[in-house]
Amino acid sequence: MARSPYDKQISNRNFLSATSFKFSIAKCPKVDFFSNQCNVPGMNLSIAVQPTYLRQIPLPGDELSFDDFSLDFMVDENLENFMEIQKWMRGLGYPESIKESKDLDNGKVKFEDKDQKSADHKVSDGTLSILNSSQNAKFLVKFKGLFPVGLTGLDFDATAGDTSYFTSTVTFKYLHYDIVDVNGQPLYES
């Protein structure tokens, strides 16, 4: 049977919306609801160079690296979501004492992640749900081993004319991410 040139075209003509997402992270559920901007991180493949007498020839390398994952969230009036991230970072970096790090390692730093069963209390898994035009999850970006490495500050300004609300950005490092359908199956063919 002859293939039509239309077989290679995209079947769903709806475009992906930049406003249709939901992020959840096991260790910091108070950040979830107020998330208002994030990214699917880029990835980079290293290159190997084959020297020749005419020029260097680039070849595919064997090391894959991922860009950072950034999440902007609205800060609640009681600083609960902001402090979830800050408490996590303080436990990782122990700015005041080594005890803060040991408490995090031993699970004594309590987060709201009742479903977190990992023995490693330093990291958490996260899921970015990408929604379709009907606001239903279409596919998921599953992050493994997330941990925060940056949290923006809160800059107060008494001279601001209009009431504005704080947004903070948290930057995460992670082991890797996979893009899967809602049933957990990879989007790419093996």
The domain containing residue 119 runs over which residues? 17-40+66-181
pTM, whole model, 2 decimals? 0.78
Q: Name which residue leads in pLDDT, 140 or 108.
A: 140
Residue 55 lies in a domain: no
H-assigned helices in the chain: 29-32, 80-93, 98-105
Enumerate long-range contacts of 99-107, CB under 8 Å, 24 or more apart.
Answer: none
Count the domains in the chain. Answer: 1
Query: Mind giving me the DSSP string for 86-141?
Result: HHHHHHHH-SS-HHHHHHHHTT-S--S-TT---S-TT-EEEEEEEE-TTSSEEEEE
CATH number assigned to the domain comprising residue 153:
2.30.110
Judged by average pLDDT, the poorest of 59-68, 94-103, 110-119 is 110-119
Residue 130 lies in a domain: yes
Residue 10 lies in a domain: no
Determine contact, residues 188/146, Cβ cutoff 8 Å.
no
pLDDT given for residue 172 in this prediction: 96
Tens digits of residue pLDDT in 6-57: 666 766 667 777 778 889 988 888 887 688 899 999 999 999 999 999 999 9
Q: How many CB atoms lie within 10 A of CB 139?
A: 19
Residue 59 lies in a domain: no
